[in-house]
A and B are shown apart, each in its own frame.
Chain A
Amino acid sequence: MSDTKILHEYVERLKEANPAWVADLKDTYGEVTVTVSRESIADACRFLKTENGFDMLADLNGADRGPEEDPRFEVVYHLFSTKHFNRLRLKVLLSEDDPHVSTVTSVWKTANWHERETFDMFGVIFDGHPDLRRILLPSDFDGHALRKDYPLRGYEPYSLT
Chain B
Amino acid sequence: MSVAVENIPSKFEVLDQALESQMTLSMGPQHPSTHGVLRLELQLDGELVIKAVPDIGYLHTGMEKLFEYKKYQQGIVITDRMDYLNPLGNNLAYVMAAEKLLNLEIPERAQIIRVLFCELQRIASHMVWLGTHALDIGAMSPFFYAFRQREKILNLIEAASGGRMTPSYFRIGGLMMDLPAGFERRCRQFLEDFPAALDQFETLVTGNTIWQSRTKGIGVITAEEAIDWGLTGPCLRGSGVSLDLRRDNPYSGYETYDFEVPVEPDGDVWARFRVRMRELYESYKIVVQALERLKPGPIKADAPKVVLPDRDDMRKHMDSLIHHFLIVAEGFNVPEGEVYHAIEGSKGELGCYLRSNGGPKPDRVHFRGPSFINLQALPVMSEGEMVADVVAIIGSLDIVLGEIDR
Contact = CB atoms under 8 A, between A and B. Distances in A.
B406 A136 contact: yes
A110 B364 contact: no
Contacts of A31: 338-340
A87 B351 CA distance: 12
Interface in B49-107: 56-57, 60, 62, 64-66, 69, 100-101
B241 interface: yes
B57 A137 contact: yes
For this complex, into which size category does the number of interface residues on chain B fall? 35 or more
B243 interface: yes
A146 B340 contact: no
A146 B65 contact: yes
B321 interface: no
Contacts of A87: 249, 340, 342
B351 A58 contact: yes
A144 B176 CA distance: 36
Contacts of A57: 230
B353 A55 contact: no
Given A29-B337, A137-B60, A138-B57, A110 B228 contact: yes
B344 interface: no
A33 B353 CA distance: 13
A122 to B, nearest CB: 10
A110 B248 contact: no
Contact of B337 (A28, A59, A113): A28
B366 interface: yes
Nearest to B364: A63
A11 interface: no
B228 A136 contact: no
A58 B243 contact: no
B160 to A, nearest CB: 30
B230 A135 contact: no
Contact of A135 (B57, B229, B342): B57
A89 interface: yes
Contacts of B65: 145-146, 150, 152
Nearest to B230: A110
Contact of B366 (A61, A137, A152): A61
B372 interface: yes
B323 interface: no
Interface string B384-405: 0000000000000000000001
Given A113-B376, A136-B56, A108 B353 contact: no
Contacts of A52: none
Contacts of A80: 342, 349
Instruction: From A57, A78, A80, A137, name the one whose CB has the most chain B CB atoms within 10 angstroms.
Output: A80
A76 interface: yes
A146 B57 contact: no
Given A61-B353, A78-B353, A135-B56, A152 B342 contact: no
B276 interface: no
A112 B376 contact: yes
B53 to A, nearest CB: 9
A114 B248 CA distance: 24
A136 B57 contact: yes
Contacts of B64: 121, 146
B373 interface: yes
Interface string B344-364: 000001010101000000011
Contacts of B249: 85, 87
B368 interface: yes
A59 B366 CA distance: 9
A59 B57 contact: no
B227 interface: yes
Contacts of A59: 340, 351, 353, 366, 368
A68 B61 CA distance: 27
Contact of A113 (B100, B342, B373): B373
Nearest to B243: A82
A78 B368 CA distance: 10
A108 B351 contact: no
A54 B60 CA distance: 31
A113 B372 contact: yes
Interface in A111-161: 112-114, 121, 134-138, 145-146, 150, 152
Given A59-B351, A63-B355, A146-B65, A136 B405 contact: yes
5 contacts: A76-B338, A78-B353, A108-B230, A135-B56, A137-B57
Given A58-B342, A58-B368, A63-B364, 14 more contacts: A28-B338, A29-B338, A57-B230, A58-B340, A59-B351, A61-B368, A87-B249, A109-B230, A113-B372, A136-B405, A137-B57, A137-B60, A145-B62, A146-B65
